[in-house]
Amino acid sequence: MLDKRQFYINGQWCDPVAGEDLDVINPSTEEACAVISLGGAADTDNAVAAAKAALPGWMYSDPAERLALVQRILEEYKARAEDMAQAISMEMGAPIDMSRSSQTTSGTWHISNFIKAFEKVHFIEPLGDHAPEDRIIREAVGVCALITPWNWPMNQVSLKVIPALLAGCTMVLKPSEIAPLSSIVWAEIMHAAGTPKGVFNMVNGDGPGVGTQLSGHKDVDMVSFTGSTRAGIAISKNAAETLKRVHLELGGKGANIIFADADEKAVKRGALHCFNNTGQSCNAPTRMLVQREMYDQAVETAREVAEKTAVGPASESGRHIGPVVSQAQFDKIQDLIQTGISEGARLVAGGLGRPEGMNRGYYVRPTVFADVNNEMTIAREEIFGPVLSIIPFESEDDAVRIANDTVYGLTNYVQSEDGAKRNRMARLLRAGMVEMNGKSRGAGAPFGGMKQSGNGREGGVWGIEDFLEVKAVSGWANDAE
């Protein structure tokens, strides 16, 4: 079992001042694969103090210096790609091939895109010709607490650490205590790339401990959190005492609206997307809204996809889905599947219990419910597992009404061959992102939601600007530039 009880503070690995040990569980086997320490208040204070001391030097450094560091991080990340893939697969259950091709490469993708986006960020620029002695200055928010989840570890770490670095912020990263191993590899990458002391710090801990300490800390200027809506509300309340900036990327209950004129692969594509990463994605299209004319066929297609979706250990190569991340997650999904049955949804595939032949590991059967209405629990709560709910609709207006009838507003999806209809839907759907006909968002597009899916945007120029303050200056001496 790996011993990973040290924290990374002020440019070095150090033992906890006072921390409780916690086993990291491999969800494929239910066995401990590593041990970490959960930090205490003294560890949090030490990390924040290191970040605060490093802030002036990094905040006012040459932007070219910050860019050069990120470029070195990218090269180190590529060199450690296999280590990263193995860590992610072991800690949260992503099948190793998927961990290599999607989980790990999400970090490479975001780092590369931030390097490109940085060219568009202007730290000092004129207000306009009408005010020749006015300048707009963008400067770092300050010390940032970055709190990341377990489901897409490097996707979220890279979406927070890299723009914070480029903006000139210093930071303390608290990864999920359920899946901390990939962030330990990340800290090693940061060290190898020559990150100045105190600019990047990492302390393991849980939400009630280190998470609460960071979000309420008087010397933390901003919290960037990705996770559940429940935790996001708690962080916002705690952070309010110090009026720090709070960036939240929270849950979702994405509607995938499939019109009768959709392409023939739309239903299959949507079901596979729902089951991807074992359903553990905040932007998963878990509500499939299908126009009545093709409803019966869509239900049958989704059933076939679910029954053909293999489930297996994360360590094995292949195109299967792995376990969910923990016993708590497994139990929650089982309870919600039972609720769906009890409330009258028609179970057409999957259901309760592990897949046949499996008696160990947090494996969930790919599950499809039909005849769901939007008042049912499975249509309203974020299940975070491989569970698809199919809801019929009659018209375009009906689809918009059902899709928007949710507290969430992260990602919605539209499938139609009618371009004008797609454009209308994109305008009317209350979500931070709308993806249509299977086309993913382009490089540098912002990621984020509305309503209880959070605030702020990650990725591209928007992601860097989230870590910048805007300062208005008048009386600028043009002859001194």
State which amino acid sits at residue 26: N
**Helix, strand, coil percent content, the chain, rounded in steps of 5:** 40, 20, 35
Residues 401-415, buried b or exposed e (16+ Cβ, 10 A)?
ebbeebebbbbbbbb
What is the rounded distance in angstroms from the CA atom of residue 448 to the CA atom of residue 442?
14
Is 20 one of the annotated active-site residues of the chain? no
Please pick, among 91, 177, 249, 435, the residue that the annotation labels catalytic: 249
Reduce the DSSP state of residue 207 to 3 states and report it.
helix
Write the DSSP assignment of 81-129 as a string of letters: HHHHHHHHHHHH---HHHIIIIIHHHHHHHHHHHHHHGGG--SEEE--T
Is 169 one of the annotated active-site residues of the chain? no
* Separation in Å, CA 124 to CA 98, 471, 476: 42, 9, 11
Strands of the sheet containing 20-26, edge to edge, are 2-3, 31-38, 20-26
What is the rounded distance in angstroms from the CA atom of residue 147 to the CA atom of residue 234?
13
Please pick, among 91, 282, 435, 458, the residue that the annotation labels catalytic: 282
What is the rounded distance in angstroms from the CA atom of residue 252 to the CA atom of residue 38?
29
* Separation in Å, CA 169 to CA 49, 59, 139, 238: 14, 6, 9, 21
E strands along 221-335, which residues?
Answer: 222-226, 245-249, 255-258, 287-291
The pair of structure tokens assigned to 444 is 């540098």
What is the rounded distance in angstroms from the CA atom of residue 319 to the CA atom of residue 309?
9
State which amino acid sits at residue 167: A
- Residue 254 makes CB contacts below 8 A (sequence gap 6+) with 283, 284, 285, 286, 287, 408, 410, 411, 412, 413, 431
What is the rounded distance in angstroms from the CA atom of residue 372 to the CA atom of residue 11?
53
E strands along 271-363, which residues?
Answer: 287-291, 346-349
Q: Which residues are catalytic?
A: 249, 282
